[in-house]
Structure 1
Amino acid sequence: MKHIPNIITLANLFTGCIAITMAFEGNFTAAAGWVVVAAFFDFLDGVFARLLKAYSDIGKELDSLADVVSFGVAPAAAVFVLLRDHILLPDMAEPLKLCIPYLAFVIPLFSALRLAKFNIDERQTTSFRGLPTPANGLFWVSFTVAVSDIAGISNVVLPVIVVLIALLSWLMVSEVPMFSLKIKKIGWKGYERQWLLAGAMVAFVTLWGLAGIAWGILAYIILSLVTNRQEQIVK
């Protein structure tokens, strides 16, 4: 029984690997779907670890390794293919055109750094410092689904992607407080932000499918910043 959480974590890793193959085939929707499945397993392994009281050092390290693949490498693969095959850059020098897609791999670099910091930071038990790696990964795979149909508008899309890579990578390793997404009991009190975000995410996904997840992640970031600011004013 004690190995069940680790088996679920390996399922997270496995589905992340499938997402990578889908991304390199240019199937952004399938890649995003598999990353969502990986996120479900990432949530589930923690649930079973708590239920079975099966916490272990190897489980903690394995979880981070799986997350680097599923929420770092897989999203980067999708962004790489988006930049390589869907962004039209007719006026750009050929060497620069070849280099630009590799900007995507900044995502797993900062994801790994974020996870390494998280593993040694005892403050991040009930809340987060910086954007969680799974949230960042979900944003990017959803973003590729949303943008792939309009990515020919290179004058707009390319600068947006570059700025978002820089901004979200910084946010992952920053000290910006972000509320935990875990709801440990049924009830509104104490979990107002989580329920508001859950409702918003359902609405976005209902309206836009997998592309709506990116809007949900942006809502999470904004809600964290706004409520943290309000708490500072109250103090």
Structure 2
Amino acid sequence: MKNYIPNTLTSLNLLSGCIASVMAFHGKFLCVVAWVIVAAIFDFCDGFTARLLKAYSPLGKELDSLADMVSFGVAPAIAVFTFLSMNMHVISGNAFVVAYLPYVAFLLTVFSAMRLAKFNVDTRQTSSFMGLNTPANAMFWISLSYGLANMPVVSAMLIYTVLFGIVLFSLLMVSEIPMFAFKIKNLKFAGNEYRYILVIGTIIMLIAAEVVLHSFILGIAGAVLFYIALSLISNRKTA
């Protein structure tokens, strides 16, 4: 019976990702944020439960990647696609550009798939990541989509920045840049410095986003940027 528990949690991750995708198509960005966060919680719990119960299986490994593909690869891309579709007229009056340029958002899905496949076969990623992990990428885009969709005015520069960001983050996911993992083996500060700094920084980002922008959800995107910056700093110190 215990062998079914992790796979059940993984399946709930997948279900949450499906719901988030539907919400994204309808432009309900707050619901997208909520359901992707729920998916991330199930994603954490399935791995934790598998380790706790020693209920590992090849099926569970494959199912986990497939669930992550939907929750962290498809749903965020749909959210970005919907945002761009709603605002593409800002940069062009051309019907072809307005209709088809938003599909650039699905580069996030394609590179998420490549990232997940790479993770499954890369033995270097047992205690750290090579490239930006898909949950962090997803959290950035769903929070950014929510924040941008609620802005009173969307400028052309903002749309171009989003398009550039899609390409940049897609490449980050398959890059060879080492990034620290979130797993904490013990609560000691030594060895977990950057993880504790990330937690403190995330809290500050959420509070600052609420005070300045009146949207703490945008602080999630800031926290992901902070995570990337911390990873780059830690790499320079260990080089």
Give the alignment's TM-score, normalised by structure 1. Answer: 0.95
- Secondary structure of the corresponding residue to residue 128 of structure 1: strand
Q: Give, in angstroms, the shift of residue 49 of structure 1.
A: 0.8
Q: Deviations over 1:42-101 (max 9, x none)?
A: 111111011001111111111100001000100011001100113442643111111111
The match for 2:201 is: 200
State whether structure 2 residue 171 is matched by structure 1 residue 170.
yes
**Residues 76 and 108 in structure 1, CA contact (< 8 A), matched pair in contact too:** yes
Q: Is the deviation greater in 80-89 or in 166-175?
A: 80-89
State whether structure 2 residue 126 is matched by structure 1 residue 125.
yes
The match for 1:43 is: 44
State whether structure 2 residue 36 is matched by structure 1 residue 29.
no
Q: 1:146 and 1:134 mapped to 2: Cα distance?
A: 18
**Residues 88 and 151 in structure 1, CA contact (< 8 A), matched pair in contact too:** no
Question: Over the residues paired in the alignment, what is the CA RMSD in angstroms?
Answer: 1.3
1:17 maps to a residue whose letter is: C
The match for 1:93 is: 94
Q: 1:206 and 1:62 mapped to 2: Cα distance?
A: 36
Flag structure 2 segments of 5+ consecutive residues without an equivalent: 210-215
**Residues 77 and 105 in structure 2, CA contact (< 8 A), matched pair in contact too:** yes
Q: How does 1:81-230 map to 2 (within 5 A)?
A: 81-89=82-90, 91-150=92-151, 152-208=153-209, 209-230=216-237
**Residues 151 and 157 in structure 1, CA contact (< 8 A), matched pair in contact too:** no
The match for 1:80 is: 81
Q: Is the deviation greater in 205-214 or in 135-144?
A: 205-214
The match for 1:6 is: 7
Give the alignment's TM-score, normalised by structure 2. Answer: 0.93
Q: Give, in angstroms, the shift of residue 145 of structure 1.
A: 1.1
**Residues 86 and 151 in structure 1, CA contact (< 8 A), matched pair in contact too:** no
**Residues 5 and 49 in structure 1, CA contact (< 8 A), matched pair in contact too:** yes
**Residues 83 and 101 in structure 1, CA contact (< 8 A), matched pair in contact too:** yes
- Secondary structure of the corresponding residue to residue 34 of structure 2: helix
Q: 1:140 and 1:151 mapped to 2: Cα distance?
A: 19
Q: 2:157 and 2:150 mapped to 1: Cα distance?
A: 13
Q: How many residues align?
A: 232
Change (3 A) 1:92 1:132: same
Q: 2:20 and 2:35 mapped to 1: Cα distance?
A: 5
Q: Give, in angstroms, the shift of residue 152 of structure 1.
A: 3.9
Q: Is the deviation greater in 206-215 or in 36-45?
A: 206-215
**Residues 17 and 71 in structure 2, CA contact (< 8 A), matched pair in contact too:** yes
Change (3 A) 1:90 1:75: closer
Q: 1:84 and 1:16 mapped to 2: Cα distance?
A: 21
2:175 maps to a residue whose letter is: S
**Residues 88 and 152 in structure 1, CA contact (< 8 A), matched pair in contact too:** no
2:223 maps to a residue whose letter is: G
- Secondary structure of the corresponding residue to residue 151 of structure 2: coil
